[in-house]
Amino acid sequence: MPKLFRRLSADDALITIIMIIGALLRLYRLSEIPFTHDEFSAILRTGFATFHDLIEKGIKIDGHPAGVQVFLYYMVKYFGVSEAVLKAPFILFGVISIWLVYRIGKDWFNSTVGLVVASFVAFLQFPVMYSQIARPYASGLFFVLMMVFFWTRVIFHPQRKYYLNLAGYVISGALCTYNHHFSMLFAAMVGISGLFFCSADKMRKYVAGGLLIVVLYLPHLPILLYQLGIGGIEGWLSKPGYNFIFDYVQYIFHFSIYIYLLIIILISLSLYWYQEIPPVRKKFILISLIWFLMPYIIGFIYSKYRSSVLQYSVLLFSFPFLLFVLFGFFKTEKALHKTILVALIGLIVIPSLIIERQHYKLFYHDAYREIVVESKHAVDSLGINRCAVILDTKKDINQYYLEKLTCEALTFNYLEDQAEIGGLAIWLDSCTTDFLAFGSLTSSKSENYAMMMEKFPFLIRHKSYCGGDFYLFSRKKPEKPSGEYFYSSVNTFEPSSPDWGWVNDKRCIDSLTLDGKKSYVNDLGSEFSPAYTKSLRDLIRTENDVIDVSVDVRLPPVFPGAWLVASISSEGKDLKWSSAAINDFVKPGHHGTVFISLRISDIDLRHHRLMFNTYIWNPVKSPYLMDNFKVRVRSGNPVIYGLYRKVGEIR
């Protein structure tokens, strides 16, 4: 090995070291890297007998081009479902992308710029994590960079193996179109950009190459038209705000003050070692800026006015070009300077990945797997007859871990099976065990927790994961309960609590009560119940907290409908308005409890004078009886969005 490195130039030795470290960061405990929900979704759409069924039932409905799904289809068909096998090709794409970034930086600017940018691509969590996911992100980054690599030679070095480079440009461009809609968009930007720089004598051949990419894509066009017809993914992806780009840049750089300082130091050094930049390098700075901004701008506009598509993952393809904008001014070519720069980046970014971002703690402890592990442990330690398990996860995904962890014999209940009105409440009423284990994902309704606490009022254990939670509840008070509620306001109307503002005491009656001595009657013609209003800053401790609201109601035999409302407003404008239909919890002619919860981490708190409000809205103005109107606040999951936001303390 020493002899090998002695034969290498300083540049070759440094990029080799960068790539080895980048590979190790991606390959660490390869077989233990869990599948994400997105990967499971793709894997579950590979089990088709024919290629036609794969296209019709597994690809058209997904919203992505066919390339990666077809690749996974054959990988699963010939090698089975294995984390190591399915993720390895994408990790390889990620590692080779490090080299491609280096070569593009060297061709456009110099080897120093290439090494600096390659170091960030090798060590930052954004490219590391998406290299570990078997979805069209690492592959898209690889195809985009490969296209730019060949494009550079076709446009700026046509004297070097022109037709071979043109063939590479066409093939990589076609792969971009079959990989992801945003990598296809990027390929189109690259192709159009070439029209401004291509020499006149090569223009016809260049345009012919671009048209050939279009021709190669034509078989996929019916799938694209179908997917455009069904829209985007607004079922779970909200429209981006104007602060999206700033949040994205913070995310890229780990929300880390150390990396921000590193960037300032690197830019300062590039200016310290500054020499006049040749005009051709200025072109590449401008190209990099346009290529970074345009996918964001197009995605933002499309998401705002058509259907939501913009998320961090789709900007991976343009991300290296932001780095070229930041660090494209380095002129020094001294080996010592390059070594210092690479070492400095590694010494700051790698510890940030491991410690600040806690990548290997968060990403490697997937909620699906950990919920099964914790549920099995609870049943094994407490006894199957004493501990019931109910999960708000996907049964078909859960089955994978039941088989992998050899616990198929466990009997788990699933919330998706409780579809009737008041289904969870009915199931809880029928549950006779002393303990209840509950696993939930980010998509789960937060009010399920409060409903379970009504029947199992003591929390024994809460485990937080990125993407979900596990809870163990008990009917009996343990020696050391793990209570999470730190604030409570209950209006029993005996008399009314002052926190609830003005309440008509004449409606607090004792002739017909739900609990205690008095209940509150909303007479015929009353649209709104008594409301609770409080400054959100005075109500919560952190942005991870959850506000649980519940109210007992008795409905008349005919009750068209009313809603329990919880909202967050700023200066009179609702930022978050949620409602729970009373008839989803209580049938007309019956009594019961209605629940709604707000997870504060789902709300943008960057507004002034935030207020929390809750009340019952009864637009039909039917009469009903209410009691025990509760507002409680509990500590939530500090890492539920930890892979994409600042990380809190892991429980």
For residue 371, give both structure tokens.
């919920």
> What is the mean predicted confidence (pLDDT) over 432-446?
93
Which of helix, strand or coil describes residue 118?
Answer: helix
User: What is the separation, in whole angstroms, between the first and last Cα of the chain?
Assistant: 44
Summarize the confidence of residues 616-638 as an average pLDDT: 93
Condensed to tens digits (0 to 9), the pLDDT of residues 137-188 reads 999 999 999 999 999 999 999 988 999 999 999 999 999 999 999 999 999 9
* 417 pLDDT more than 90: no
Please, how many CA atoms are within 13 Å of residue 378, restricted to the half-sphere of its CB?
30
Gap between the Cα atoms of 223 and 229, Å rounded: 10
Two tokens, residue 143 = 């195809």
Residue with tokens 């990989």: 179
The pTM of the full predicted model, rounded to 2 decimals, is: 0.92
Per-residue confidence at 480, pLDDT binned at 50, 70, 90?
confident
Please name the residues in contact with 214: beta carbons below 8 A apart, sequence gap of 6 or more: none
Q: What percent of the chain has pLDDT over 90?
A: 73
pLDDT of residue 1 exceeding 70, the answer is no
**515 — pLDDT class (breaks 50, 70, 90):** confident
> Tokens 């330690």 identify what position?
381
Q: Where are the beta strands (DSSP E) in 374-484?
A: 387-392, 413-414, 435-441, 458-465, 468-474
Q: Name the residue among 302, 68, 61, 76 with its Cα closest to residue 180.
A: 68
Which DSSP helix (H) or strand (E) runs through 613? strand 610-617
Percentages of the chain per state (helix, strand, coil), in multiples of 5 = 50, 15, 30
Name the burial class of residue 290, with classes exposed (0-12), middle (13-18) and buried (19+) by CB atoms within 10 angstroms of its CB: middle
pLDDT for residue 419 is more than 90? no
The pLDDT of residue 487 is: 93
In this prediction, residue 503 has a pLDDT band, given cuts at 50, 70 and 90, of: confident
Which residue is listed with tokens 């600096």?
116
Residue 13 C-beta-side C-alpha neighbours within 13 Å: 15
CA-angle at 58, arms to 57 and 61, nearest 5°:
75
Return the bridge partners of 533, or none: 613
Q: Which long-range contacts (CB under 8 A, 24 or more apart) does 85-88 make?
A: 86/35, 86/39, 86/43, 86/134, 87/30, 87/33, 87/132, 87/133, 87/134, 88/30
pLDDT classification of 650: cutoffs 50, 70, 90: low
> What are the tens digits of pLDDT across the range 13-30?
999 999 999 999 999 999
Interatomic CA distance for residues 527 and 630, integer angstroms = 20
Q: Which residue has the higher pLDDT, 249 or 514?
A: 249
Better-scored residue on pLDDT, 495 or 44: 44
Q: Which residues of 507-526 are buried (b: 16+ CB within 10 A; e: fewer)?
A: bbeeeebbeeebbbbbeeeb
Averaged pLDDT, 596-600: 95
Q: Which of 341, 370, 378, 532 is nearest to 464 (CA)?
A: 370
Half-sphere exposure of 428 toward its Cβ, with a 13 Å CA cutoff? 25
Q: What percent of the chain has pLDDT over 70?
A: 95
- Rounded distance, CA 177 to CA 184, Å? 4
CB neighbour list of residue 211: distance below 8 Å, 6 or more residues apart: none
Whole-angstrom CA distances from 26 to 95, 128, 357 are 8, 6, 15
Q: Could you identify the residue written with the tokens 């979805």?
A: 135
- Does the pLDDT at position 414 exceed 60? yes
Q: What is the mean pLDDT of residues 367-388?
A: 93
Mean pLDDT of 26-42: 95
What lies within 8 Å, CB to CB, of 236 at 6+ separation is 443
Q: Given this model, what pLDDT does residue 231 score?
A: 59
* Residue 181 and residue 137 in contact, taking contact as beta carbons nearer than 8 Å: no
| Distant-in-sequence, close-in-space partners of 561: CB < 8 Å, separation ≥ 6 | 581, 582, 583, 620
So what's the pLDDT on residue 3? Answer: 58
Question: Are 533 and 627 in contact, with CB atoms under 8 Å apart?
Answer: no
DSSP state of 528: B
Least confident of 30-39, 209-218, 402-411, 609-618: 402-411
3 state SS of 479: coil
Q: Quickly state the pLDDT bin for 640 (edges 50, 70, 90).
A: very high
* pLDDT at site 2: 56
Assigned token pair, 144: 């985009």
Angle between helices 181-194 and 162-179 (to 10 degrees): 150
pLDDT score for 166: 97
Given this model, what pLDDT does residue 486 score?
Answer: 92
Give the pLDDT score at 508.
86
Q: What is the pLDDT of residue 200?
A: 93
CB atoms inside a 10 Å sphere around CB 572: 7
What average pLDDT does range 39-53 have in this prediction? Answer: 93
Residue of higher predicted confidence among 548 and 409: 548
Q: Which of 244, 241, 133, 251 is nearest to 644 (CA)?
A: 251
Q: What does the pLDDT read at residue 624?
A: 92
SS3 of 509, please? strand
- Give the list of residues 6+ apart from residue 539 with CB closer than 8 angstroms, or none: 487, 547, 612, 633
Mean pLDDT across 490-506: 80
At 97-132, the pLDDT tens digits run 999 999 999 999 999 999 999 999 999 999 999 999
Q: How confident is the model at residue 412 (pLDDT cuts 50, 70, 90)?
A: confident
Give residue 493's identity as a one-letter amino acid code.
F
- What was the pLDDT predicted at 405? 85
Q: Which residues pair with 431 in a beta bridge?
A: none
Alpha helices in 218-256 (DSSP H): 221-230, 244-252
- Side chain identity at 141, as an amino acid letter? L
Q: Are 530 and 500 in contact, with CB atoms under 8 Å apart? A: yes
* Cis previous bond, 495, omega within 30: yes
Question: What 3-state DSSP class applies to 47?
Answer: coil
Q: What is the mean pLDDT of the chain?
A: 91
Residue 432 confidence class, pLDDT cut points 50, 70, 90: very high
3-class state of residue 570 by DSSP: strand
Beta-bridge partner residues of 595: 550
Task: Supply the pLDDT for residue 61.
Answer: 86
Of 118, 139, 131, nearest to 183 by C-alpha is: 139
Q: What CA–CA distance (Å, rounded) separates 324 from 114?
A: 8
How many separate helices (H) and strands (E) can be counted in the chain? 24, 15
Neighbours of 348 (CB within 10 A): 19
The residue count of the chain comes to 651
Q: pLDDT of 242-267, one tens digit each?
A: 999 999 999 999 999 999 999 999 99
Cα separation, 279 vs 544, whole angstroms: 50
Q: Which residue, among 221, 175, 223, 169, has the nearest Cα to 193 in the 3D structure?
A: 169
Give the tens place of pLDDT for each residue, 525-574. 889 999 999 999 999 999 999 999 999 999 999 998 899 999 999 988 99
- Helices 162-179, 138-156: crossing angle, 10 deg rounding: 150
